[in-house]
Structure 1
Amino acid sequence: MDRRFYIVCGVLLASAVWIRFVSHGDEVPLRRELEEFPSRIGEWREVSEELFGERVLEVLGADDYLNRGYVHPSGASVWLYIGYYRSQRQGDLIHSPKHCLPGSGWQPLVSDRITVDVPGRGEVRINRYLIQKGDERQLVLYWYQSRGRTIASEYMRRFWLVVDAMTRRRTDGALVEVSAPVEGSVEEVLDLELDFVRKIFPLLSDYLPD
């Protein structure tokens, strides 16, 4: 039988599953408000917080978010963004940085996954995304924290979204993103970002539902 027939059937089946389960998941609140996230995390301390305008919030579709800058005693700084969705329905899915950042003029230089050894958790996989706009470069580390899982893959994120919608009636989830400007060595920036990631990781479960 024609291969296109199976593709069409697959698309129709996925659409039916989406309409039946994913678009009708229960809303799950945060365990704690993100604004209560610590202003001091190890040696890192909060230096700024930025609120989005209505237009940006409408595009993001997040129910709650944290957008905060932290600085290290060395003078290095990172930006932490956590966007939380009580449920993901059609039109309100978590937006991948790989789609949003190029739309803002940032061009990808490196896009891969790395393994981070997190104390008390073991090894986790997250995304590494080096981008450039004009003379500016940024290194972005991000992952999806969804219903007790840490997910880097876009495909696996959608797979578990459908599975959990069917078996748990849950589609809640969060995007966690740590970014920093790159003015010299990319590896030095990566080391500092990884230090920050290791320190925030144990805190996330206090705020995001398992």
Structure 2
Amino acid sequence: MNLRFRFLVLYVLLAGMAAYMSFHRDLIVPLAKPFSEFPPVHNGWRMVGQSSLSDNVIKVLMPTDYLSRRYVAPDGTTVDMYLSFFDGGPDTGGIHSPKHCLPGSGWFEMSSERTVRELGGEQVNLVRALYAMGEQRELIYYWFYMRGTTMSDEYSLKLAEITGSMFHNRRDQSFIRISVQAKGNVDAANRRVEDFLRDFYPLFREYLPS
């Protein structure tokens, strides 16, 4: 009797899972504002370049929208900004972490730490990492964003994606990366990125869905 009851419970659970998978649909969540409206001039920073992903990269990443720009400060220092958004629909992809993408492109991770910064009145979880390729040095700050929450590790991102899909019918997500060339002076590069983040983080939140 116990064995028959266990099989019955297992059958009900499997049937329930099958029904959930058959009928479950995640919502397609739009950006609060399209990236095309992102300002070229903000708080003294001025856009000096904008680039596009190649067709092959777009086929792999499948972003709903993205923005790749270079901004220059009044003192002439430059910062590169990359924003990508995935609306959670069936035709969108997902975030590819720099921990996997950059080494595959020939970059070597010299250091990496998860940290927290207070930006725009919020506690923002992010990664600060230094990468090298030959003589080049690139300082990168990046984080993941889902439903109003910032994350700095891939496990939290995956858990948020699963629970968001199960309980909110949402798996929309965003990736933000800010980078500068370190040029042997990592402290100066850190200051440059953090100045940029203080000016731009509140603006990022205007575009991303909560």
TM-score, structure 1 as length reference: 0.85
Q: Show the counterpart of 2:196.
A: 196
Contact 2:142–2:175, Cα closer than 8 Å, also in 1: yes
CA spacing shift, 1:127–1:88, aligned 2, 3 Å: farther
> Structure 1 57/77 Cα, relative in aligned 2: closer, same or farther at 3 Å?
same
Matches of 1:34 and 1:159 in 2, distance apart? Answer: 27
Gaps of 5+ in 2: 1-13
How far, CA to CA, are the matches of 1:102 and 1:43 in structure 2? 34
SS in 2 for 1:95: coil
What CA distance in whole angstroms lies between the structure 1 residues aligned with 2:99 and 2:48? 27
Q: Is the 8 A contact 1:88 1:94 kept in 2?
A: no
Which residue pairs with 2:209 in the alignment? 209
Residue 91 and residue 102 in structure 1: after superposition, are their counterparts in 2 closer, same or farther (change >3 A)?
Answer: farther
Distance 1:42 1:71, change over 3 A: same
Instruction: Say whether the 8 Å CA contact 2:64–2:92 is kept in structure 1.
Output: no
Name the counterpart of 2:39. Answer: 38
How far 1:153 moved relative to its partner? 1.8
* Residue in 2 that maps onto 1:165: 165
Q: CA deviation at 1:120?
A: 2.3
- Which residue does 1:7 correspond to in 2? none
Mark the structure with the bigger radius of gyration.
2
Q: Note the C-alpha offset of 1:115.
A: 2.1
User: Among the aligned pairs, what percent are the same residue?
Assistant: 34
Q: Residue in 1 aligned with 2:52? A: 51
Number of the residue aligned with 1:28:
29
User: What does residue 100 of structure 1 align with?
Assistant: 101
1:193 match: secondary structure: helix
User: Post-superposition shift, 1:41?
Assistant: 2.1
| Aligned-partner Cα distance in 1 for 2:70–2:94 | 25
Per the alignment, residue 176 of structure 1 pairs with 176
The answer to which structure, 1 or 2, has the higher relative contact order (CA under 8 A, 6+ apart) is: 1
1:119, 1:52 → 2: CA distance? 29
What is the CA-CA distance between 1:118 and the residue it aligns to?
1.3
Distance 1:100 1:24, change over 3 A: farther
Kept in 1: contact 2:62–2:91 (CA 8 A):
no
2:158 alignment partner, SS class: helix
- Alignment partners' CA distance in 2, 1:67 and 1:94: 15
- Tell me the SS of whatever aligns to 1:205: helix
Structure 1 segments (4+ residues) deviating >6 Å:
88-91
Shift of 1:92: 2.3
1:208 Cα deviation after fit: 0.9
Distance 1:96 1:36 in 2: 26
User: For the aligned residues, what is the CA RMSD?
Assistant: 2.2
Query: Which stretch of structure 1 is more off in the superposition, 53-62 or 173-182?
Result: 53-62
> Unaligned 5+ residue runs, structure 1?
1-12
Number of paired residues?
A: 193
Q: TM-score, normalised by structure 2?
A: 0.85
The letter for the 2-side match of 1:120 is: G
Do the aligned residues in 1 keep the contact of 2:86 with 2:92 (CA within 8 Å)? Answer: no
Q: Decide which moves more: 199-208 or 127-136.
A: 199-208
